Structure 1
Amino acid sequence: MKTLKSALVVSALFTMPVAQADVLGFGASIGYWDSDLSGKAAKGGDRVNVENDLDLSNNNEVNLSAYLEHPVPLLPNVRLSYLRIDQSGRGELGTGFDGIPVGATVDSSLDWRQTDLTLYYEVLDNWINLDLGLTARDLDAELKVSDRAGLYNSETKIDAVVPMAYAAGRFDLPLTGVSVGINGNVVSYGGDSVYDYDIYGQYNYAGVQLRAGYREMAVDYEDGDERLDIDVGGPFASVGFSF
């Protein structure tokens, strides 16, 4: 895996002024994502369109997240999140792919799992909130394609740990429980790139958080002669709690 030179980012995070939580805090949420998938997969010199050739397009995903914030100086706060995309489709190849001839009717499946570990600091913590940190994303994605007769089978697999910059901002409307915000992870290096962001509105009442917005994720990653260039986007809603 290519190496990301992030020493300057790490140095900046450890030298910037940070706001510490006054007490120990914990939160968790579960979200429903109505996502639309597009993009391409490549193996060797062959490419296939996952939407038009494989008919992998719309899907509904469930994602989980949890965070822990604490008042200990210098130690970062911790956030964990998990997402799984599980799709299947039947299409017709407009071009040959990994030995499967052009025009073949194929069954395909995409199993995409990612787990994020984020270490971050609260830079601002009042009615304007700003968190900055680093994310390690464990990405495991596998695309399987086979013709209906069972004569040809193809597997394209990406397995990597991707370091990313993390930022989250939120603006709270005082005394209303209403807020708007944006979360994002991004990295680009060596021809590979990943970005993942969501924009949302939120209502908080007695520690219960109702959130709705739009999320988009794009991954362009090459592992040997295998490559996934995938975009996933759509509206989402989540419910969570914090204390």
Structure 2
Amino acid sequence: MKKTAIAAILAAMTPMAAQADLLFTVGAKASIWNAEPTGQLDKGVSVEEDGLNLDSENGQQLAVYFEHPLPFIPNIRLKQTNLDISGDGNINVNFLDQNFNEKAKSTLDLSHKDLTLVWGLPLPLPFIDINFGLTARQFDGTAEVRGQQTGVRKGVDLDFVMPLLYGEVQIGTPFGIYGHADVNYIGYGDNKLQDMSAGIGYDLPIPIVDLGLEAGYRSIKLETDEDLADIDTDVEIKGAYFGANFSVGF
């Protein structure tokens, strides 16, 4: 958020600066996400009950981004979310056409990578940013059940791409405190993804660079059919995250 304030000062001093921020910005964010699953897999198998007993896990989120003042050319954001959730229990279900009636270990890996192209609305307000864009999300995970007595394993790769619409609002203050909210969304046929997060942070009073701490909440609602992901899913992953961010403008 320091870059926004600095850009506002430059805008007051330089007529050309009124057209756009005069700063190129490179930054990174890292956080731990305590993600808890609910919902069902493969035509009604509960991820919380039915013996799957998938429990909350600490996933990792890492993002890097590049912002520039060039009109019409999007800013670029890359994000990696590692989200591997597991559980074990006594199950008596049919999962992917395999009957299980034993103690089993279950895994749901919804790790994914995002490439987001972002454009900003040219608002004449120094502490409010509204952005929109497009995201390509590559899932690279699995859904699996493995019987511990028989050793029978049944699973499917969750390896597919979803295009998403992106929107974001950022609000800063002169005191280093800021808030933001963003959403990725797509819905077509029996497939739907809604990824929402909101957080509040504080930029430490360090000159030149932005170094801050942030806490927030993220929720992913995912529905897929067998045509997209080789398995029916209707799950929600949600929970609080805590992390830090760093950026520098030049």
Once the two structures are aligned, what percentage of the paired residues are identical? 28
Residues 83-135 of structure 1 show CA distances to partners (whole Å, capped at 9, x for unaligned) of 01112221222432234435432111222220000001111462111111010
TM-score with structure 2 length normalisation? Answer: 0.82
Instruction: Give 1:230's match in structure 2, choosing from 231, 235, 249.
Output: 235
Instruction: Give 1:240's match in structure 2, choosing from 232, 240, 245.
Output: 245
Aligned equivalents of 2:20 and 2:139: distance in 1?
31
Instruction: Give 2:215's match in structure 1, choosing from 212, 217, 242.
Output: 212
Q: Which amino acid aligns with 1:221?
A: T
Which structure 2 segments of 5+ residues have no match? 1-18
Between 136-145 and 86-95, report the one with greater CA deviation.
86-95
Mark the CA change 1:229 to 1:20 in structure 2 (over 3 Å): closer, same or farther: farther
Matched, 1:49 2:46: yes
Aligned equivalents of 1:52 and 1:20: distance in 2?
53
Match of 1:62 in 2: 60
Which structure 1 segments of 5+ residues have no match? 1-18
Q: Which amino acid aligns with 2:243?
A: S
Offset at residue 21 of structure 1 (A): 3.0
Aligned equivalents of 1:152 and 1:98: distance in 2?
12
Residues 197-239 of structure 1 show CA distances to partners (whole Å, capped at 9, x for unaligned) of 1111111123112110111111111233512222111111110
Aligned equivalents of 2:35 and 2:76: distance in 1?
27
Match of 2:87 in 1: 89
Aligned equivalents of 1:20 and 1:219: distance in 2?
37
Equivalent positions of 1:100-115 (< 5 A) are 100-101=98-99, 103-115=101-113
Equivalent positions of 1:74-153 (< 5 A) are 74-101=72-99, 103-123=101-121, 124=123, 126-153=126-153
Q: Which amino acid aligns with 2:38?
A: S
Aligned equivalents of 2:198 and 2:238: distance in 1?
12
Match of 1:199 in 2: 198
Q: Secondary structure at the match of 2:236?
A: strand
Residues 35-69 of structure 1 show CA distances to partners (whole Å, capped at 9, x for unaligned) of 11112111xxx541112120112111111001100
Aligned equivalents of 1:223 and 1:137: distance in 2?
18
TM-score with structure 1 length normalisation? Answer: 0.85
Aligned equivalents of 2:92 and 2:212: distance in 1?
46
Query: Which protein is richer in helix relative to its size?
Result: 2
Match of 1:182 in 2: 181
Aligned equivalents of 1:51 and 1:240: distance in 2?
33
Q: In 2, are the aligned partners of 1:157 and 1:226 still within 8 Å (CA)? A: no
Q: Secondary structure at the match of 1:126?
A: coil
Q: In 1, are the aligned partners of 2:215 and 2:241 still within 8 Å (CA)? A: yes
Aligned equivalents of 2:151 and 2:98: distance in 1?
9
Aligned residue pairs, count: 221
Equivalent positions of 1:33-48 (< 5 A) are 33-42=33-42, 46-48=43-45
Q: In 2, are the aligned partners of 1:20 and 1:122 still within 8 Å (CA)? A: no
Offset at residue 191 of structure 1 (A): 1.7
Aligned equivalents of 1:167 and 1:98: distance in 2?
36
Offset at residue 75 of structure 1 (A): 0.8
Give the superposed CA RMSD.
1.7
Between 233-242 and 83-92, report the one with greater CA deviation.
83-92
Aligned equivalents of 1:190 and 1:98: distance in 2?
22
Q: Which amino acid aligns with 1:234?
A: G
Match of 1:7 in 2: none
Deviation above 4 Å: which 4+ runs of structure 1? none
